[in-house]
Structure 1
Amino acid sequence: VEGARHDRMVTCEATLLLLLILTLMLMSWGWLAHQARARMQKDLPPGPAPLPLLGNLLQLQSGHLDRVLMELSSRWGPVFTVWLGPRPAVVLSGYAALRDALVLQADAFSGRGSMAVFERFTHGNGIVFSNGPRWRTLRNFALGALKEFGVGTSTIEERILEETACVLDEFQATMGAPFDPRRLLDNAVSNVICTVVFGKRYNYGDPEFLRLLDLFSDNFRIMSSRWGETYNMFPSFMDWIPGPHHRIFKNFQELRLFISEQIQWHRQSRQTGEPRDFIDCFLEQMDKEHQDPESHFQDETLVMTTHNLFFGGTETTSTTLRYGLLIMLKYPEVAAKVQEELDATVGRTRAPSLADRAHLPYTNAVLHEIQRFISVLPLGLPRALIRDVNLRNHFLHKGTFVIPLLVSAHRDPTQFKDPDHFNPTNFLDDQGEFQNNDAFMPFAPGKRMCLGAGLARSEIFLFLTAILQKFSLLPVGSPADIDLTPQCTGLGNVPPAFQLRLVAR
C-alpha cells in the first residue's frame, strides 16, 4: 500500500512538473509572440493614428477607399500604414513605390496577403490565394496546361474570334432597342475560358449558365461594397451581423456544386493520356501523384483552382469591356476616331485580328487608356512579405500585409500627362504612335501578375474592336449626362448599370 501511495505521489509530482514546464513554455511563447508583434508594429511606417479595435475605420470613407488612401499618401508619403480594424496594412502608393517593391524586390513581395472573405472558402487552396511551394507548383502547372490548350497561341485567338461572331449576332438582334450589355458580355468572355477549363462553351440562353454568371457578378459587387470591406476587417463579428455579405458564401456554395459536378463528369468520361481541357490535365496529375502525401494536386485544390480560373477569366475582363462601352458612349468623338482608324487599316469585310494591333496606334491607346482610367482592381490583391526587407528607409518584417494601390500608379502625375481624365494621348507620343508606359499595371506587376493577363488583353482588343467596327453606339439620353463614377469601389471598380442602342454602320 505504501509503495502504491509513493508511486501515486511521484506520478502527481511528475505531472505537476510537466504542467509547470508546459505553462512556462506557453507563457514564454506568448511573450515572444507579443514582443515580435510589438517590434513589427514599432517598425511599421508612419500613418494616421488608429483607434483601439476599429483601427482607421472612421477615416476610410465608405465607397471611396482607393481615393482616401491616395489622399492619405499625400500626407504620409508613398509607403505608409493604415489599420484595417485590428490589422496593420502597409500601403504602397505611386508608381515609384510600387516599382521599388513589386518589381525590384519581386520575390520578397510575392506572398499573398490573407483576405477573410476569400480565406473562408478557399482555405489557402487554388492559385490566387495560396502561398509557398503550393502556389509555385500550381502556378507553373496552370501556365503549362493553359498553354497546351491555346492560351498565348493563335488557337486562343481563333476561339475568341468565334465567340466574337456569336456575341455580335446577339447584339444584332437588339438593333435599335435599348439594352443592358452586361449579360451578353459576361457570356462571351466566360465562354472563352470555359472552352479551356471545361472543354465546352454554353449557349447564351442556357439558364444554368446565366445563373452562374449572375452569381459571379453578385459576388464581385458585394465584395467591392462596404459590406465586403467590413467583413475583411471584422470577419468574426460580421458572421453574426445580418447583411448581403452572407450571400457571398451562399453564392460560392452554388458555384462549388456546379464545379464539382463538372469535375465528376470529367472523371467518368475522360480517357487517360488524352486530356481535353484543364480539368482533365489536373486529374491526370492527381493520378501521377496519388501516392505522394505531400502532393498539392488534391480534390479541394482542383475545385479552388477551377473556380479561380473561371471567376478570374470572366468578371474583371467583362467589367472592363462594359466600362469601355460606357466610356465610348460618353466620348462619341473617341469612338468615331477609333472607327475611322479601323476602317482605314482593317476595313469592314473581315474581323480585326491581333496582328492588326501594331497598325492601330490610336485604337491601342484608347484600350490602354480605358484600363488605366477605370483601374478595375484599384487596390490590387494584397501581398504578404515572405522575408524581411528594406523599402524606402523602412524596415518591413516578414509577414507584413501589403496593399499595392495600383490605381495610384494610374493616377500618378509624374507618369501620365492627364491622369485624372480620360485621355488616349496618355499612350501616344508626339508623332501619334502608341507609347507604352511601365506605370500601366492593371494586371499587377511582379511575380503575382495575373495568370490570365495575356488572355484578357487579347479579349479586350478583339471584342471591343469587333463591336466598334460593326456598330455605332448610341446612348439612351445625352452623352453629357453619363456618369462614369463606379457604382461601388473596393475590391473592384464596378461601373454603373446602363443601356445603349446599336445602329449598323
Structure 2
Amino acid sequence: MMLTWELSLILLAVLLILWFLKQLWSRRHFPPGPLPLPIIGSIWRTGTGLGEDILIKLAKQYGNIYTIWIGHYPIVILSGYQAVKEGLIKYSEEFSGRPVTNFFKQTLKRKGLVLSNGHTWKQQRKFGVVTMRKLGLGKKGMEQQIKEEAHWLVDTFARAKGQPLDPLLPIMNAVSRVICVLSFGYRLSLEDEKFREIIEAVEFILKYCTTVVHFLGELFPWLIMRLPGPQHKALSFTQLVLSFAKTEVAKHKECQTLHEPQDFIDFYLLQIEKSNGDPTSTYNEENLSECIFDLFVAGTETTAITLQWALLLMVANPDIQDKVYKEMEDVLGPSHSICYEDRKRLPYTNAVIHEVLRVKYALPIGIPRRCVKDVNMHGFIIPKGTFVIPDLRSVLLDPKQWRKPREFNPQNFLDQDGNFMPREDFLPFGAGHRVCLGEQMAKMELFFFFTKLLRTFRLQLPEGVTEKEINKEPVMGLAFHPHPFKLCAIPHYDSS
C-alpha cells in the first residue's frame, strides 16, 4: 500500500514537471522575464502589488520589453521612452484593446469608455471626444466651471484662517464637483449624503483593486465569490455608483425636451434618439451609466492626487513657490482674472505643474492594453489577446531622457531663455488611440486650482514641523498618493 502511494506521488511529480516544461516551451517566443512558477506565475518576484520601482528594476535585468506572468496569463511590459513610444504610436491600432479582469467583467460588462473594446469602444470613444468639445473643453464653457470650483476651493482654505488643514477632502470635493457639472449639469457637495456615498464607493473600489483578495479573485473567480470578504462590498459599491448614474439618467429623461443639451447625459440621450433604428448602434442607457462610472473613477482620483502632490512640493520647496507667485504678480498683476491662455505667459508656473505630473506620477503604470492582433516587436512575438502594459512611470523617470529624473526640477521644461519647452517624452496621459480622454480637462483643473491657491495664499508647514519631517515617498496602491499631511494657507495680504 505504501509503495502504491509513493509511486502515485512520483507519477504526479513527473506529470507536474512535464506540464511545467511544456508551459515553458510554449512561452519561448515571448520576451524574457522572471521564471513563471505553476499557479502563481511571476508573483514570487513582483508581489501582488506594484511597488514604486519593481517594474523599472525588472527592466534593468530583462530589457525594455519583458514578460511577467499572473498565474498562466502573460503580461508584456514596455519600459522606457523608446519602447513605450513605439508601442503606443507605431502599434497604436494593434495595442488598442483593453483587458477586462473577471471582477470588472462581472460588474461593468465590457461597456462604457474605459473597459469596452471593438465596435462598442470606437463608438463610445468617438462620442466622448465630440461631446467633450461641445461641452466647452478647452473653451470658455468648461473653463468657467473650473474657475468657479477654484474659487470655492480658495474659500474653503480661507475658512481655516491660517490654521493647519488637511487639503485632501477639499481637493477631492472640488475635483468631483467638476465631474458632476460635466456629467449631470449641476454640483453636488460633501454635505449631500448620496454624494458622500459615491465618493466613498469610488475610493473603496480603487483600494480593493490592489488587495490580495482581488488578485486571488482573478485566478479563482469561481471560489472567491463564494467566500466572505471585501469582494462583495466592492461589488455592491460598483452597483451603487451605477445605480446613482441610472437615477440621474432617469431625471434627465423627464426634462429632456425642456432645454438644449447641457451636460454629458443630455448629449448621450440625444445620441440614443438619433441612433434609433440603427442596428450597429451601441448607444443605450446601460453604456451611458457605465460611461458616467468611468468619468467619476478616472476623472477624480488622479487629478486630486496630483494637486495634493503639487501643494506638498510647494510647502517642501518654498523657493520654487516664491518664484511661481512672483511670476504671476509680475506678469498678471494683482487684479487680473486669470484665464487658461495665461499659461503661455507663465512659463515657470507651467513648468512647475508639468514637473509635478512627471516626478510624482499618480499611477504605478499606464492603464493596461490588449493585443488585438499578433505583433512582432523587436523579434518577439506578442500573440493576439496578450495583455500589454505601457509603463508610463518608467518614461517619466527615464534617465536617458531626464537629467536627475528623481529630483523635482522645473528646469526640465524650460529652455536656456526661460521659455516653456514641450517635450515628446512627457507622456503622463499616454498616447495613441487610447490616450486619456480627459487630458485637457485635467490640465485645466490643475492650472486653475494651482494658480488660484498660490496667488491667494502662501502655503507653509504648521508651526513646529520642519521640511526634513515631510514624507515625500508615496503610499502604494492603485494610485500613488502622498502620506497625509497638513499645511497652513496664509493670505498674501497678511504675510506682507
TM-score in same-fold range (> 0.5): yes
Instruction: Quote the Cα distance in structure 1 between the aligned partners of 2:479 and 2:105.
Output: 18
1:502 matched residue in structure 2 = 489
CA shift in 2, pair 1:455/1:118, >3 Å: same
1:115 matched residue in structure 2 = 101
Identical aligned residues as a percent: 35
Q: Is the aligned partner of 1:449 residue 2:431? A: no
Q: Say which SS state the counterpart of residue 267 (structure 1) adopts.
A: helix
2:12 matched residue in structure 1 = none
Q: Is the aligned partner of 1:372 residue 2:358? A: yes
Instruction: Quote the Cα distance in structure 1 between the aligned partners of 2:212 and 2:338.
Output: 40
2:16 matched residue in structure 1 = none
1:332 matched residue in structure 2 = 318
Q: Is the aligned partner of 1:186 residue 2:169? A: no
1:3 matched residue in structure 2 = none
Query: What whole-Å deviation, never above 9, does each CA across 1:427-470 have from its counterpart, x for those lacking one?
Result: 22223222222111111111100101011011111110110110
Maintained 8 Å contact 1:225/1:488: no
Instruction: Quote the Cα distance in structure 2 between the aligned partners of 1:241 and 1:351.
Output: 57
Instruction: Quote the Cα distance in structure 2 between the aligned partners of 1:293 and 1:411.
Output: 47
Return 225-234 or 196-205, whichever deviates more.
225-234
Specify every segment of 5 or more residues in structure 2 that has no aligned partner in the other structure, as ranges.
1-21
CA shift in 2, pair 1:249/1:225, >3 Å: same
1:425 matched residue in structure 2 = 411
1:170 matched residue in structure 2 = 156
From 78, 98, 121, the equivalent of 1:135 is 121
From 486, 492, 499, the equivalent of 2:474 is 486
From 39, 45, 52, the equivalent of 1:59 is 45
Instruction: Quote the Cα distance in structure 1 between the aligned partners of 2:401 and 2:276.
Output: 51
Instruction: Quote the Cα distance in structure 1 between the aligned partners of 2:367 and 2:206.
Output: 13
Query: What whole-Å deviation, never above 9, does each CA across 1:378-417 have from its counterpart, x for those lacking one?
Result: 3111111111222122122221110111100011011111
Query: What whole-Å deviation, never above 9, does each CA across 1:187-242 have from its counterpart, x for those lacking one?
Result: 21122222121011124532322332232223223324555555445544543555
RMSD value, Cα: 2.2
Instruction: Quote the Cα distance in structure 1 between the aligned partners of 2:457 and 2:378.
Output: 50
2:34 matched residue in structure 1 = 48
Q: CA deviation at 1:290?
A: 3.4
Q: How many residues align?
A: 469
Q: Say which SS state the counterpart of residue 47 (structure 2) adopts.
A: coil
Q: CA deviation at 1:147?
A: 1.4
Instruction: Quote the Cα distance in structure 1 between the aligned partners of 2:331 and 2:67.
Output: 50
Instruction: Quote the Cα distance in structure 2 between the aligned partners of 1:468 and 1:388.
Output: 50
2:457 matched residue in structure 1 = 471
Query: What whole-Å deviation, never above 9, does each CA across 1:92-119 have from its counterpart, x for those lacking one?
Result: 0000000111012211111112233432
Maintained 8 Å contact 2:30/2:382: yes
Instruction: Quote the Cα distance in structure 1 between the aligned partners of 2:422 and 2:160.
Output: 36
Maintained 8 Å contact 2:51/2:364: no
Instruction: Quote the Cα distance in structure 1 between the aligned partners of 2:340 and 2:219.
Output: 43
Q: Say which SS state the counterpart of residue 27 (structure 2) adopts.
A: helix
2:90 matched residue in structure 1 = 104
Alignment of 1:2-13 (within 5 A): none
Alignment of 1:8-407 (within 5 A): 41-61=27-47, 63-225=49-211, 227-229=213-215, 231-232=217-218, 234-240=220-226, 242-271=228-257, 274-407=260-393
Q: Aligned AA for 1:428?
A: L
CA shift in 2, pair 1:101/1:70, >3 Å: same
Q: Say which SS state the counterpart of residue 104 (structure 2) adopts.
A: helix
Instruction: Quote the Cα distance in structure 1 between the aligned partners of 2:24 and 2:436.
Output: 34
Maintained 8 Å contact 2:80/2:398: yes
Instruction: Quote the Cα distance in structure 2 between the aligned partners of 1:110 and 1:76.
Output: 25
Return 93-102 or 108-117, whichever deviates more.
108-117
Maintained 8 Å contact 2:120/2:282: yes
Maintained 8 Å contact 1:488/1:494: yes
Q: TM-score, normalised on structure 2?
A: 0.89
Query: What whole-Å deviation, never above 9, does each CA across 1:261-283 have from its counterpart, x for those lacking one?
Result: 11111111211783232112211
Query: What whole-Å deviation, never above 9, does each CA across 1:330-383 have from its counterpart, x for those lacking one?
Result: 222221221121111122323432111112111111111111111112311111
CA shift in 2, pair 1:393/1:456, >3 Å: same
1:14 matched residue in structure 2 = none
Maintained 8 Å contact 2:50/2:364: no
CA shift in 2, pair 1:266/1:232, >3 Å: same
Maintained 8 Å contact 1:370/1:422: yes
Q: Aligned AA for 1:206?
A: D
Q: Aligned AA for 2:485?
A: F
